[in-house]
């Protein structure tokens, strides 16, 4: 405990705990934009309350101060056990080894879900667990700072964590109202601390039966409150600036939908980025390619194979260091009797920046890449461990797989299920009824898996379904979860994500292994010709998602259920077996196939106006971010500088110049880590005089003059002492000399620390009456 602080009663500690809880509960509200629903907030508030009030209870039971945080950690563990691991625990509260194993799984699951979910995230148990754990740990930290260290000003540190996260993830950042509410809670905590301290000090003296002498006890409430308000005002200002600037920050730098064209970099759901990119008014160039034989394939970036009911995600597989791209693995399940042909394609990536390489599936080899790239065993997608796609120029050899309808039709469902991993067929147990009935209707009367697949594709491409990137935007519709699929099947409006995920789910329901590939359609030919072959430009509007189904003997086969996008593979057209030459199925949208460029958004012009100002301002946004960070970091320095200027003003013009000079001297000494005992100026001076800085006669004399002046000002017969101009100038001169001497005395690191993190802002010694470290004249 700080020597300045009086011992608190349990009631006063409870008041501090309540203020801490309020601060924690309001600050986690800032996570609102990231997480769907409100149940998670109640959970977090419950955990924070359990930890903070549990701590207060422990203190009321007179548990030793340093032990309380440890017991709070135990309490947190018990709470987590109760909430998440009750089935594996002893008496619902005591964790057993199985509980810890479960927690480990939950943490892994949380990492996965955080990396792969879209915002607002659905609160799966793993995410709830991570939230509860995080809030619990932050609460313990808060409690340590407020109750054990008695430094409530530092409570801002744990609280800033939930405040900052949204700014990095969602476009809008956190709302200003929440910042204001949190700042108000913070001020309240500081206020409670000041009041509680003052009361405690007075009461403590009453306990001893001593009549209180109020004059020396008077806590300078006004100045404390003033300082708190100052700090808070600067904090709110900086936070507001950050909040205002976060949209641009998140758009351009972090989510990569700005001109940098970073894709899927931040681990938010790929679907979200895909939706956002498709809605972008202007297409951004992604890459160009040249296929000398006129081949126009889809390019796969990544493949989603895990479906957990709410989100599609990539199964976590470590990179295999042996899988270098000079020779890719053979595609899974491809039988020897299926016709294949190789097509070399030259690719030049211009702007898109992602760790996933756009390659056609399947490919056999890639040449000319910079950096380390590895292919995935199952999906043959290519990922970099150390670089990204920007500026890459490479030649990829695509293996065109051309199965016949007979080959596909003869593939048995059972054989397919036996060949692939179970997760390609995995569906959560509870799912909306409409999915099951739709799948059953489509599968009825079909003779094989292939026919079912063709029926599903035909159904989705039927005129009933409309391609639209606009309708689903609100309400978290950007996704492939059950809820989304069910409402998609009802509304029959959506874009590739919905078509692809719906087909994949319906296929799994019908017993066909499925996965979703995300990448680019074949792009638009340009006027640029090389050897008579058109170069093809692929841009952000070509981003696409499509399902791939597994057939034994053939392997993974792409389908195209999205009307108006891409091209429908030959083998997947209804009646392909009977008349191989027939063209596309019926449907108005299918006429758009040649360009693959659907009319995206009727309100494109409007969106363009909103989006444009951000488009080319990445350096400026980086500047704003940098400025915000610098401003945030320099708050203590600014507050200290203002304080110093204020004291200098008081020295020059104020009523108690010597007092101001002495306060500034003590504050400087504290800043520089020169120990200053609480006590009279004489005690302080004799302690500080031992420092090497004051071995020099001049500095020592200056310091002693400052001391004499403040003593005369405080206790002398004529109150403020000499306050003529000459005396004031002398004080400034002495203060300067003393400061220079002290600066010479410490290391450069101490000087930097004194400037950036002035300790005197939190260690108030000079004016607050306190208990002395050592008396004596």
Partner 1 sequence: MTTAPDAAGEASAMLIDEVGSLAARVVGNVETVIAGKREAITAALTVVLAEGHLLIEDVPGVGKTMLAKALARSLGSSISRIQFTPDLLPSDVTGVSVFDQASRRFEFKRGPVFANIVIGDEINRASPKTQAALLECMEERQVTADGTTYLLELPFTVIATQNPVEMEGTYPLPEAQRDRFMARVSMGYPASADELAMLSTRETSSPLDRLEQVVEVEQLRRMIAAVQHVFTSQPVKEYAVELARATRDDRQLRLGASPRATLQLIRAAKAHAAMHGRDFVLPDDVDALAVPVLAHRLVPTSRAVGTHDRDSGPLIDAIVRRIVADTPVPVGSARRN
Cis link prior to 362 (omega < 30° from 0)?
A: yes
Residue 6 or 413 with smaller CB distance to partner 1 = 6
Site for partner 1 in 356-375 (CB under 8 A): none
Report if residue 217 touches partner 1, rule: CB under 8 A: yes
Secondary structure string (H, E, C) spanning 550-578: EECCCEEEECCCCCCCCCCCHHHCCCCCC
Least Å from the CB of residue 214 to partner 1: 10
Binding characters for partner 1, 638-657, by CB under 8 A (x = yes): -----------------xx-
Query: Which residues, 6 or more positions from 481, have their beta carbon under 8 angstroms from its beta carbon?
Result: 122, 309, 310, 311
Q: Of 77-85, 216-224, 534-542, 570-578, which part binds partner 1 (CB under 8 A)?
A: 216-224
Kindly tell me which residue out of 91, 210, 418, 583 binds partner 1, with binding defined by CB under 8 A: 210
Kindly tell me which residue out of 720, 753, 757, 762 binds partner 1, with binding defined by CB under 8 A: 720
Instruction: Kindly state the helix (H) or strand (E) to which residue 538 belongs, with its residue range.
Output: strand 533-539
Query: Which residues, 6 or more positions from 726, have their beta carbon under 8 angstroms from its beta carbon?
Result: none
Kindly tell me which residue out of 719, 729, 736, 756 binds partner 1, with binding defined by CB under 8 A: 719
Residue 601 or 659 with smaller CB distance to partner 1 = 659
Q: What is the three-class DSSP state of 513? A: coil
CA 716, 718, 723, 726 dihedral sign is negative
Binding characters for partner 1, 532-571, by CB under 8 A (x = yes): ----------------------------------------
Q: What is the three-class DSSP state of 534? A: strand
Report if residue 771 touches partner 1, rule: CB under 8 A: yes
Site for partner 1 in 308-327 (CB under 8 A): none
Kindly tell me which residue out of 50, 569, 721, 758 binds partner 1, with binding defined by CB under 8 A: 721
Residue 82 or 720 with smaller CB distance to partner 1 = 720
Least Å from the CB of residue 723 to partner 1: 8
Residue with tokens 């792409």: 558
How far apart are alpha carbons 143 and 141 in whole angstroms?
5
How far apart are alpha carbons 369 and 367 in whole angstroms?
6
Residue 475 or 655 with smaller CB distance to partner 1 = 655
How far apart are alpha carbons 543 and 12 in whole angstroms?
60
How far apart are alpha carbons 626 and 452 in whole angstroms?
55
Q: What is the three-class DSSP state of 455? A: helix
Please, what is the Cα angle at 217 between 216 and 222, to 5 degrees?
105
How far apart are alpha carbons 600 and 586 in whole angstroms?
21
Residue 269 or 713 with smaller CB distance to partner 1 = 713
Report if residue 680 touches partner 1, rule: CB under 8 A: yes
- DSSP conformation letters of 593-607: TTTT-----TTHHHH
Kindly tell me which residue out of 595, 602, 715, 756 binds partner 1, with binding defined by CB under 8 A: 715
Phi and psi, residue 70, nearest 5° = -65, -45
Cis link prior to 37 (omega < 30° from 0)?
A: no
Kindly tell me which residue out of 295, 483, 570, 708 binds partner 1, with binding defined by CB under 8 A: 708
8 Å CB contact between 647 and 731: no
Please, what is the Cα angle at 424 between 422 and 429, to 5 degrees?
75
8 Å CB contact between 28 and 162: yes
How far apart are alpha carbons 714 and 656 in whole angstroms?
9
Least Å from the CB of residue 773 to partner 1: 9
Least Å from the CB of residue 736 to partner 1: 20
- List beta partners, residue 545: 518
Report if residue 677 touches partner 1, rule: CB under 8 A: no
Report if residue 772 touches partner 1, rule: CB under 8 A: yes
Q: How many of the chain's residues bind partner 1 (CB under 8 A)?
A: 40
Binding characters for partner 1, 425-464, by CB under 8 A (x = yes): ----------------------------------------
Residue 167 or 721 with smaller CB distance to partner 1 = 721
Least Å from the CB of residue 208 to partner 1: 6
Report if residue 729 touches partner 1, rule: CB under 8 A: no
Q: Of 120-128, 203-211, 336-344, 535-543, which part binds partner 1 (CB under 8 A)?
A: 203-211
Residue 394 or 694 with smaller CB distance to partner 1 = 694
Binding site for partner 1 (CB under 8 A): 208-211, 213, 215-218, 655-656, 659, 679-680, 682-683, 705, 708, 711-722, 727, 767, 769-772, 774-777
């Amino acid at each position: 405990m700080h020597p300045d602080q009086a011992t608190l009663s349990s009631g006063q500690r409870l008041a501090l705990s309540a203020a801490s809880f309020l601060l924690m509960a309001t600050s986690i509200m800032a996570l609102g934009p990231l997480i769907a629903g409100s149940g998670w907030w109640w959970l977090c508030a419950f955990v924070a309350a359990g930890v903070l009030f549990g701590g207060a209870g422990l203190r009321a039971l007179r548990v030793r101060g340093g032990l309380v945080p440890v017991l709070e950690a135990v309490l947190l563990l018990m709470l987590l056990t109760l909430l998440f691991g009750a089935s594996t625990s002893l008496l619902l509260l005591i964790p057993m080894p199985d509980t810890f194993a479960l927690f480990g799984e939950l943490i892994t699951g949380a990492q996965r879900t955080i990396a792969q979910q879209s915002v607002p995230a659905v609160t799966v148990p793993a995410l709830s667990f991570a939230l509860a754990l995080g809030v619990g740990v932050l609460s313990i930290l808060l409690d340590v700072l407020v109750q054990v260290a008695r430094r409530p000003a530092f409570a801002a540190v744990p609280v800033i964590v939930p405040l900052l996260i949204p700014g990095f993830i969602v476009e809008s950042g956190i709302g200003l109202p929440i910042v204001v509410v949190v700042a108000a809670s913070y001020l309240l905590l500081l206020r409670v601390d000041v009041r509680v301290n003052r009361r405690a000090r007075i009461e403590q003296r009453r306990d001893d039966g001593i009549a209180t002498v109020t004059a020396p006890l008077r806590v300078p409430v006004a100045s404390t409150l003033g300082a708190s308000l100052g700090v808070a005002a600067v904090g709110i200002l900086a936070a507001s600036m950050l909040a205002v600037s976060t949209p641009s920050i998140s758009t351009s730098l972090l989510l990569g939908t700005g001109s940098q064209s970073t894709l899927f970099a931040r681990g938010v759901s790929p679907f979200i980025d895909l939706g956002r990119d498709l809605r972008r008014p202007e297409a951004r160039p992604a890459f160009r390619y040249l296929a000398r034989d006129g081949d126009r394939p889809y390019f796969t970036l990544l493949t989603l194979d895990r479906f957990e009911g709410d989100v599609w995600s990539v199964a976590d597989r470590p990179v295999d260091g042996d899988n270098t791209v000079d020779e890719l693995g053979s595609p899974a399940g491809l039988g020897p009797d299926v016709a294949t042909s190789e097509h070399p394609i030259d690719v030049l990536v211009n702007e898109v920046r992602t760790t996933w390489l756009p390659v056609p599936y399947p490919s056999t080899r890639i040449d000319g890449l910079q950096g380390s790239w590895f292919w995935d065993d199952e999906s043959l997608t290519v990922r970099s461990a150390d670089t990204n796609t920007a500026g890459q120029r490479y030649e990829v050899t695509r293996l065109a797989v051309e199965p016949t309808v007979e080959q596909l039709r003869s593939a048995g469902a059972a054989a397919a299920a036996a060949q692939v991993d179970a997760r390609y067929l995995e569906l959560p147990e509870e799912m909306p009824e409409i999915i099951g009935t739709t799948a059953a209707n489509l599968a009825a009367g079909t003779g094989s898996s292939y026919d079912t697949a063709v029926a599903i594709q035909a159904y989705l491409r039927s005129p009933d379904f409309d391609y639209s990137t606009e309708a689903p935007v609100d309400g978290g519709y950007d996704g492939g979860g059950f809820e989304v699929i069910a409402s998609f099947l009802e509304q029959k409006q959506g874009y590739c994500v919905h078509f692809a995920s719906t087909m994949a789910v319906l296929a799994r329901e019908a017993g066909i292994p499925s996965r979703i590939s995300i990448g680019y359609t074949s792009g638009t030919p340009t006027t640029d010709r090389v050897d008579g072959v058109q170069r093809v430009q692929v841009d952000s509007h070509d981003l696409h998602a499509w399902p791939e189904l597994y057939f034994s003997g053939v392997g993974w086969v792409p389908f195209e259920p999205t009307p108006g996008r891409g091209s429908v593979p030959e083998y997947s057209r209804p009646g392909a077996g009977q008349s191989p030459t027939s063209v596309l199925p019926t449907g108005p949208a299918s006429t758009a196939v040649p360009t693959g460029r659907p009319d995206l958004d009727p309100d494109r012009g409007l969106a363009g106006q909103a989006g444009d100002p951000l488009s080319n301002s990445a350096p400026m946004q980086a500047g704003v971010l940098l400025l915000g960070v610098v401003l945030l970091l320099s708050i203590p320095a600014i507050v200290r500088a203002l304080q110093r200027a204020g004291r200098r003003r008081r020295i020059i013009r104020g009523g108690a110049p010597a007092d101001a000079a002495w306060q500034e001297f003590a504050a400087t000494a504290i800043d520089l880590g020169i120990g200053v005992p609480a006590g009279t100026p004489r005690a302080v001076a004799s302690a500080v005089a031992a420092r090497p800085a004051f071995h020099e006669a001049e500095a020592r004399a200056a310091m002693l003059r400052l001391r004499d002046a403040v003593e005369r000002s405080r206790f002398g017969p004529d109150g403020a002492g000499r306050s003529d101009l000459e005396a004031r100038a002398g004080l400034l001169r002495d203060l300067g000399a003393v400061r220079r001497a002290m600066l010479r005395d410490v290391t450069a690191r101490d000087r930097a620390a004194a400037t950036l993190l002035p300790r005197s802002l939190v260690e108030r010694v000079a004016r607050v009456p306190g208990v002395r470290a050592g008396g004596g004249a």
